[in-house]
Structure 1
Amino acid sequence: MVTIKDFKALRPKNNFAKDVAALPYDVYSTKEAAEEIKKHPRSFLQVDLPAATAEAFDGPINDVAAKNFEAMKAAGIFERDDARNMYVYELDDGMRKQRGLMCLASVDDYLGDRIKKHEKTRREKEEDRVDHIDRLNAQTGPIFLTYRDDEAIADLIAKGTAGEPELDFTTDDNMTHRVWTLSDREIVDGLVEAFKKQDALYIADGHHRSASAVRVAKLRREQFGPGDGDTEYNYFMAILYPADQLHVYDYNRVVADLNGLSEEEFLEKLEEKFVVTETDDAVRPEKKGEFGMFLTDRWYRLNFKGQVPDDVIEALDVSILQDNLLAPVLGIEDPRSDERIDFVGGVRGLKELERRVHEDMAVAFSMYPTALEELMAVADGGKVMPPKSTWFEPKPRSGLFIHELDEIN
């Protein structure tokens, strides 16, 4: 049984929504975010990634976030809903639609493992988001959750979106965004009851944001008491997508050097665990146990020779690559902390891997995407995947919905 809740969202006025909407802060480098803010001065990136607006600032960076947030509110960009609602937020790339329910999820469900995790978090990234939430007194980016398909939930959402959306715009990446407000109490209460029948929700994207929101809740419980079902810090903002609407992309790897090996020595070592085939074409793996590799202007196809392990974690392709190549050959023992490795979301394409090798890396690996069923199996087993195992696309924008923690009723 999981608990969801409606809330009074702070939202950009309709005529500002397109300019405010921003991809999650961790999609951008600081330089890329600064360029985006130049193109769209009202972009919410100035709040979510304040370093992009304050290169010379020598104080706490989230003071800049708070200053930028207050300036946007003072400029009349946002308005707060008068009543508690849920919302449906649809992403449409012209080929498929992804329709999610924007609401609040329970901190206690997270602590009770009814909101399931599949990745470890980095403490320093958590610290930044804890400070960000606490300084703004608000959660600014939704946690991307998924759930097993449910006909009753689908019917209620279909009923709530039968009319025209109140918000409908297309961003520079040709993604169309549509929003419906669910104010009908029969629909909202029906969704609350329907989700009580779900055994769990699963974090698809937003492990650091959710962990940070929970840490802020713990701090405020220590300061102000445990609160109750109407206490805002006992919840965090989330968008819930049914599993059948989600698409998982590959999450590829690039490594800065060959660990002291020549190319010939490196290829020779690979052949101990992989069938290595040079190819004229870029390699996008088509099955589990297959990898692409770009090395000095050449693509190779790598096929794992060994038996796929029975363990759900060890059987993941990201684990096979880590355990049989990245660690023993390239010396990447801990990909969470080793600065020699970087990760590239599959949505950026194989050309991005080639670019990185030409500019600042030695070798790149393209991956077969982790399946959503694998993610759920790992989470259900109380285990965690290696870092950067999944990349979900499209991603909901930040800034369209904000959950203020001082809002009680």
Structure 2
Amino acid sequence: MDAAALVTPPYVAGPLRLVPFRGLMLSPARVGNPTTGRAFARPYKDVSARLLRWQARGYVRQDAVPALYLHEYTSAGMTVRGLVGALDVSRRATRAEDRAVLPHEGIHPAQADDLADRMAEMELNPAPILLVHRGTDQLRSVLAEVIRGEPQHTFTDRGEQQHRIWAIRDEATLAAIAAELADSRALIADGHHRYAAYLRLQRRQATSTDEPAATDFGLAMLVDQGTTPLFLGPIHRTLHGTSLDDLRDATQSVGLGYAEHSQSEAVAALSATRLAATDGERWAVIDLDASVREAAVETLHRRIVPALPHGPSSVAYHHSVDDALGAARPDSVAVLMPAPSVDLVLEIAAADRLLPEKATSFQPKPSLGVLIRSLRDEPSGTS
């Protein structure tokens, strides 16, 4: 995809609202099952009917009464807990101070349109987008009380994620949660294009009445980064069609430091203000400007890459160091990246800046099929 086609998705206005919905849940044997993803594939118009058939066979169930859900999942030793509900996307922010949901990456409009078409045909939000925020002490206290109760669902899925789910229906508890979320700002951790698709569906089906529609909401999971944080990992780069000498010349031309080192020294130097780069034979450390509140990935793509005398002809992205190093060649430089802090990403998003594509990797993500939202249901708790 052409990076130049990236655009900023619209901003949802506060108050931040997660409302109850009637959760659809696949049976534990189908959650985390590699075949489950195919159940949500083409033809999309058949997906809703397929889930109804599964429901008749006991493979999927839907709650009779709407709820907010507190979903805890454990994967590879990491436990994440978040509120799952229908996110109100019916209002757009016109002022920076009104923003309730902050994207930090651009989206491709065609991809968002395609996802909106899929959801409309399926009549489903098949998985929640992931949001992170800093919860208030009072919200943490309310949710701690929820956790003291017995979860409605406890299971290990086919992908070996362990799950506990509490359905929250008590009116006083729901009111307390709503009050504590109202002034919050949430950062999109995963699901920028699905978020944009929610907004497209909402605009397409907006009515002139005051009655809320199902498409005024989109499925979301809100994680308190201060209690059970998602891990924010780096995404490394390979700059194809570029040499280490090109990288040196570009770095020095924009006033940044460049020095060649041994592999062990270069890797050890990797930090929030230092990059490590290699062509598979030589290694270098790039010193960034520590006085600038800028993520390393911003400096690379907005200052260094435009100054390269040659290339890059393309950029490849890698979640592991080994994959990045495996792609290093004399004409393809691997750049090892540090992960930005969540607070820095929040600061960048609040300042109306977007990070370059594939700048963050929040992990772990929940398995597909734990909680699904039907667009056939009437909105609940929206008054």
What is the TM-score when the length of structure 2 is the normalising length?
Answer: 0.82
Whole-angstrom CA distance in 1 between matches of 2:77 and 2:172: 32
Sort the Cα spacing of 1:380 and 1:271 in 2 relative to 1 into closer, same or farther, 3 A: closer
2:276 aligned with 1:292, yes or no? yes
Whole-angstrom CA distance in 1 between matches of 2:75 and 2:91: 32
Whole-angstrom CA distance in 2 between matches of 1:353 and 1:248: 18
Instruction: Note the C-alpha offset of 1:85.
Output: 0.2
| 2:179 paired residue among 193, 197, 200 | 193
SS of residue matched to 1:392: strand
Sort the Cα spacing of 1:384 and 1:191 in 2 relative to 1 into closer, same or farther, 3 A: same
CA contact (8 A) 2:161 2:367 kept: no
Whole-angstrom CA distance in 2 between matches of 1:199 and 1:190: 14
SS of residue matched to 1:302: strand
2:19 aligned with 1:5, yes or no? yes
| 1:380 paired residue among 350, 353, 376 | 350
Instruction: Note the C-alpha offset of 1:328.
Output: 1.9
Instruction: Note the C-alpha offset of 1:320.
Output: 1.5
Residue equivalent to 1:369: 339
2:286 aligned with 1:303, yes or no? yes
User: Which 4+ residue blocks in structure 1 deviate beyond 4 angstroms?
Assistant: 109-112, 171-174, 330-333
Instruction: Note the C-alpha offset of 1:174.
Output: 4.6
Residue equivalent to 2:122: 136
SS of residue matched to 1:241: strand
CA contact (8 A) 1:369 1:390 kept: yes
Instruction: Note the C-alpha offset of 1:283.
Output: 2.6
Residue equivalent to 1:354: 325
Whole-angstrom CA distance in 1 between matches of 2:220 and 2:310: 38
2:135 aligned with 1:159, yes or no? no
Sort the Cα spacing of 1:171 and 1:293 in 2 relative to 1 into closer, same or farther, 3 A: farther
CA contact (8 A) 1:139 1:405 kept: yes
Sort the Cα spacing of 1:302 and 1:161 in 2 relative to 1 into closer, same or farther, 3 A: same
Instruction: Note the C-alpha offset of 1:86.
Output: 0.7
SS of residue matched to 2:267: coil
CA contact (8 A) 1:119 1:386 kept: yes
Letter in 1 for 2:314: R
Whole-angstrom CA distance in 1 between matches of 2:132 and 2:22: 22
Whole-angstrom CA distance in 1 between matches of 2:146 and 2:25: 19
Instruction: Note the C-alpha offset of 1:205.
Output: 1.5
2:76 aligned with 1:91, yes or no? no
Instruction: Note the C-alpha offset of 1:172.
Output: 6.0
Counting only pairs closer than 5 Å after superposition, residues 199-218 of structure 1 correspond to structure 2 as 199-218=184-203
Residue equivalent to 2:31: 20
CA contact (8 A) 1:280 1:299 kept: no
CA contact (8 A) 2:28 2:156 kept: no
Letter in 1 for 2:272: K
| 2:317 paired residue among 334, 343, 346 | 343
Whole-angstrom CA distance in 1 between matches of 2:266 and 2:157: 30
Sort the Cα spacing of 1:252 and 1:195 in 2 relative to 1 into closer, same or farther, 3 A: same
Whole-angstrom CA distance in 2 between matches of 1:207 and 1:226: 29
Residue equivalent to 1:336: none
CA contact (8 A) 2:30 2:369 kept: no
Letter in 1 for 2:31: V
Whole-angstrom CA distance in 2 between matches of 1:118 and 1:226: 33
* CA-atom RMSD in angstroms: 2.8
Residue equivalent to 1:146: 132
Unpaired runs of 5+ residues, structure 2, are: 1-14
Sort the Cα spacing of 1:330 and 1:149 in 2 relative to 1 into closer, same or farther, 3 A: farther
Whole-angstrom CA distance in 2 between matches of 1:284 and 1:251: 17
Offset from partner CA, 1:164-189 (integer Å, 9 cap, x none): 33333345665322222222222222
Sort the Cα spacing of 1:307 and 1:365 in 2 relative to 1 into closer, same or farther, 3 A: closer
SS of residue matched to 2:112: helix
SS of residue matched to 1:354: helix
2:50 aligned with 1:71, yes or no? yes
Offset from partner CA, 1:52-75 (integer Å, 9 cap, x none): xxxxxxxxxxx4233245324313
Sort the Cα spacing of 1:292 and 1:344 in 2 relative to 1 into closer, same or farther, 3 A: same
What is the TM-score when the length of structure 1 is the normalising length?
Answer: 0.77
Whole-angstrom CA distance in 2 between matches of 1:166 and 1:370: 36
SS of residue matched to 1:177: strand
Counting only pairs closer than 5 Å after superposition, residues 249-264 of structure 1 correspond to structure 2 as 249-258=233-242
